[in-house]
């Protein structure tokens, strides 16, 4: 199994509007923490998630979280 690239070792804390988002799982996107299609040619696909209300979230950018797309603190163990 391929290992994701570590985009950076801190989460992206963002205030997201309601809507559908695609979190980059591969770590190659230039528009972190969201997918920009750079996963093409890898075994990775983005994680779709939906926000039903405006909310501040911490999105994983180390790509090692077990609660994707949200940060679970895994970046502290890398």
| Residues near ligand FES (CB under 6 A) | 24-26, 28-29, 35-39, 44, 46
Q: Of the two residues 10 and 54, which places its CB atom closer to ligand FES in the complex?
A: 10
**Smallest separation (angstroms) from ligand FES to the CB of 11:** 16
Q: Of the two residues 10 and 30, which places its CB atom closer to ligand FES in the complex?
A: 30
Q: Of the two residues 11 and 46, which places its CB atom closer to ligand FES in the complex?
A: 46
* Rounded distance between C-alpha atoms, residue 28 and residue 26, angstroms: 6
* Rounded distance between C-alpha atoms, residue 8 and residue 78, angstroms: 11
**Smallest separation (angstroms) from ligand FES to the CB of 42:** 8
Q: How far is Cα of residue 43 from the mean position of the Cα atoms in its chain?
A: 16
């Amino acid at each position: 199994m391929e290992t994701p690239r570590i985009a950076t070792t801190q989460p992206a804390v963002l205030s997201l509007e309601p809507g559908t988002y695609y979190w980059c799982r591969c770590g190659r996107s230039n528009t972190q923490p969201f997918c920009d299609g750079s996963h093409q040619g890898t075994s990775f696909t983005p994680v779709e998630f939906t926000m039903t209300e405006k909310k501040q979230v911490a999105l994983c950018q180390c790509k090692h979280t077990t609660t994707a797309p949200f940060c679970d603190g895994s970046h502290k163990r890398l």
